[in-house]
Amino acid sequence: MGEQLMVWVFLLTVFVLAFVGTAWLRRYALARELMDVPNARSSHVVPTPRGGGLAVVIAFEAALLAGWGMDFVDGDFVWGLGGAGALVALLGFLDDHGHIPAKWRLAGHFLASGWLLFSLGTLPPVGFGDTIVLSGIIAWVFFWLYLVWMLNLYNFMDGIDGIAGVEAVTVCLGGALISWLAGMAGGALLPLLFGVAMAGFLVWNLPPARIFMGDVGSGFAGLVLGGLSLCAMVQAPHLFWAWLILLGVFIVDATVTLLRRMLAGYPPHQAHRSHGYQYASRRFRSHRVVTLAVGVINVMWLLPLAVLVSLDWLPGLIGLVIAYVPLACLAWLFRSGDVRFQDLSGI
């Protein structure tokens, strides 16, 4: 009972640290005029302070160190998630306050992702039934690219009020639940820590947002969520499928958008507002509706499928296909990556 109470106090402390830290950063940004000013590629219309994601970074990094000191968190995870996350957050912070060329940001992303993979050691093979899908050097390269993509897609998807925070909170709560149901309650703590840190920020970022996450937070969040999925995989390989299902909304929208834009001849790093969620927010003229819809999809559709996979009641690949096909249809319905309509505010 005493240890459970300590965990709850620990989680509450992380939430308060992120909440108070975001409030302070908002005052700091207003005083220094660190504002995200709307432009032709923006989905907001009012200048808004940015950089609030730094509070999430500080709260989660502090939680990792404290959890390690209390033997709640494995040292390898602290070294991997904490070290790689700090590097990505530093790059994002510098980019928020100036500009870092895309090639150097990408180089830093590959370095951080490789760091995280190296810290996890030998990764278990990922399979479908008795068939091994990923193993050895092929698996290592795949997961390296996966982490880099997760890091960048989260930045792309952080474009309307509350969406990135709601995604992180619901995915982390789901990730904690599937670890617990799979008989690995110890694996639930890391996603809970990140989830409550993001929740402390989300209070300030819900529509209408009073502060934005900024690159310092979005890149960090993408890397951490990708890293958490691999941490779960180290404990039980089939949980990786479950995490991919939980992350489905962001993965499908960002991937479909990127592929359609590249097929149309646009460079992948070019700024735009042609994601499906951006079209949806303009169609419904509301950030709140789209952000709420993401939360509902995560909880009511993706989480049950992830639970079935985590309990081995549904093969991972089949669960992934079942989860992603409707999401791909939604992405097509809301014109993800369709550049013909990206500048039409009435769509």
What is the rounded distance in angstroms from the CA atom of residue 50 to the CA atom of residue 255?
Answer: 26
Does the annotation place 155 within a ligand binding site? yes
* Listed residue (194, 206, 164, 184) closest to 58, CA to CA: 194
Residue 39 annotated as part of some ligand binding site: no
Q: Which letter, b or e, does each residue of 237-271 get, where b requires 16 or more Cβ atoms within 10 Å of its Cβ?
A: bbbbbbbbbbbbbbbbbbbbbbebbeeeebeeeee
Cα separation, 117 vs 122, in Å, equals 9
CA distances from residue 214 to 36, 48, 89, 337 in whole angstroms, order as listed? 9, 11, 10, 22
Distances (CA, A) of 293 to 58, 159, 208, 282: 29, 15, 16, 14
In the numeric block, which tokens belong to residue 241? Answer: 């499928």
What is the rounded CA–CA span in Å between residue 160 and residue 70? Answer: 37
Alpha-carbon distances of 287 from 11, 22, 43, rounded to whole Å: 29, 21, 9
Cα–Cα distances (Å) from 191 to 108, 226, 247, in that order, read: 24, 11, 13
Binding residues for Mg(2+): 155, 215
**Binding-site positions:** 155, 215
